[in-house]
Chain A
């Protein structure tokens, strides 16, 4: 009775020596999984490559109008000359800078306001209907107003990105706090977590998935908005490059701009996904 050990016996069976049942099965299962993964990689990289080659052939053989759909090699050459002129790098830098500055401000303010509104009923009553109404206005539609207020400098464009990011976070995080599993909060309280500790050790880690979902959604929206503001209110940036190429009917340069924007989107989304993978190992476990 004083023996406090309560070992629960393992249920795994000792296999006789020389039995290769488990080892063989594991090896064949692993091999099959590896084959499937290789096939996935092949298909996901192969499909766009094949389409690119078809496009190249179609353009060279004049099956399609090469003025509207220039061959990939033509686009690559155009990119080369934009790079050697240094304009592609500076356009890329301008777009990424606007996006990241606006995104960062939007993330920080959106997380803070979202959490506070989730926690405080009076503040929620005061601001949630207002924010929901503003959210219904497409952020890009605010640009003309912001241009009137702040002039045609960077502020108006960055604020447009701030707005789109802010609303994604504000709405998602208010919801995440309000729908938080009450049993986990109760367990936190039952084990002595009060106010600050409850927030830091229970609420915040529990809303991390919502934060990362919002990061992924809003980086893509932010890029859309940045590009759109540059169409009309900038004289540099990838959006400007695309718009200006249209006005000059420089289709090749326009494609360079579009491809670069796509690549920026892919890279930034991948970075956010990578951060999520690192920061939320338990979500990895959930997905299996």
Chain B
């Protein structure tokens, strides 16, 4: 399979890391998470193992309710595992992890530029410097003319760009993205994906991207990790050896289609199962 399609497939039983664990790698070991509910308890994650090499882009793919967002929140320290350990190589949200949320989670009471500067402000960066750096990132995402506007005056795609700028401006070691394109329309989504690919190729941060779009997972990721639905566990872990820089044009190539078919194969049963559950 490796020979024919040009990508490597690793099963969940193979828990040896791709590359030797240098500092700055993200490591998830035997992580389980149980949510106690009023009517029933949910095992969101069971014995999840995942290694993300520093500077690589990993896409987490899975049906809704497979616990991929939970895993991301645990990675970022916004939630704690019920069992198991997580190591982020010495970085935490206080110094070096930035989040991108599906619904942007932009502060409505702050102007666009103050939203972008929020993380820097929490880090104690001086006002002049944080405004300079934020303005620079607003320029990169094409919103520099809107620095004084309030988020609710802008479209969904523009708000997600604020959120992109807010994440990148802190120059984080690790970027955790929870379906960042989930709430924008399909065409804006294509543009934002290209923006994101370009920004990442220029900065090479460690990124974990949670998505339910197979195309997005392949287009952006160095690796795609597929999770099964409840309880969430790693089902498939494959490398994406498509050349960079990548644009939407990559989606029409042969290897892309082959990857897509493999991933869909891995996902199909679980998607059907998750539908039955709900």
State whether B122 touches A192 (Cβ < 8 A): yes
Residues on B with C-beta less than 8 A from A282 are 108-111, 150, 152
Query: Which of B94, B107, B150, B203 is within 8 Å of A205, CB to CB?
Result: B107
Known: A6-B202, A192-B123, A201-B118. 12 other contacts (CB 8 A): A4-B199, A6-B140, A8-B191, A186-B78, A186-B101, A186-B105, A187-B99, A187-B101, A201-B122, A205-B107, A285-B150, A285-B152
Does B244 lie at the interface of the complex (its beta carbon under 8 Å from any beta carbon of A)? yes
Known A3-B202, A190-B78, A193-B122; judge A8-B150 contact (CB<8 A).
no
User: Could you tell me which B residues sit within 8 Å of A by CB distance?
Assistant: 76, 78, 93-95, 97-99, 101, 103, 105-111, 118-119, 121-123, 139-142, 149-150, 152-153, 161, 166, 170, 191, 195, 198-199, 201-203, 244-245
Known A190-B99, A285-B150; judge A183-B139 contact (CB<8 A).
no
Chain B residue nearest to A5 (CB atoms) is B140
User: Could you tell me which A residues sit within 8 Å of B by CB distance?
Assistant: 1-10, 183-184, 186-194, 197, 201-202, 205-206, 208, 280-282, 285-286
State whether A6 touches B201 (Cβ < 8 A): no
B161 → A minimal CB distance (Å): 8
- Nearest 3 CB-CB pairs, A to B? A8-B142, A187-B105, A192-B122
State whether B103 touches A191 (Cβ < 8 A): no
State whether B153 touches A285 (Cβ < 8 A): yes
State whether A2 touches B150 (Cβ < 8 A): no
Assembly CA distance A184 to B151 (angstroms): 13
Assembly CA distance A205 to B166 (angstroms): 19
State whether B109 touches A183 (Cβ < 8 A): no
Known A183-B101, A186-B105, A285-B153; judge A1-B201 contact (CB<8 A).
yes
Assembly CA distance A8 to B137 (angstroms): 12
Chain B residue nearest to A281 (CB atoms) is B150
State whether B108 touches A286 (Cβ < 8 A): yes
Known A8-B142, A186-B78, A191-B170; judge A208-B109 contact (CB<8 A).
yes
Chain B residue nearest to A209 (CB atoms) is B109
Chain A residue nearest to B164 (CB atoms) is A6
State whether B153 touches A184 (Cβ < 8 A): no
A265 → B minimal CB distance (Å): 29
Known A6-B141, A190-B99, A191-B93; judge A184-B107 contact (CB<8 A).
yes
Assembly CA distance A9 to B145 (angstroms): 12
State whether B109 touches A206 (Cβ < 8 A): yes
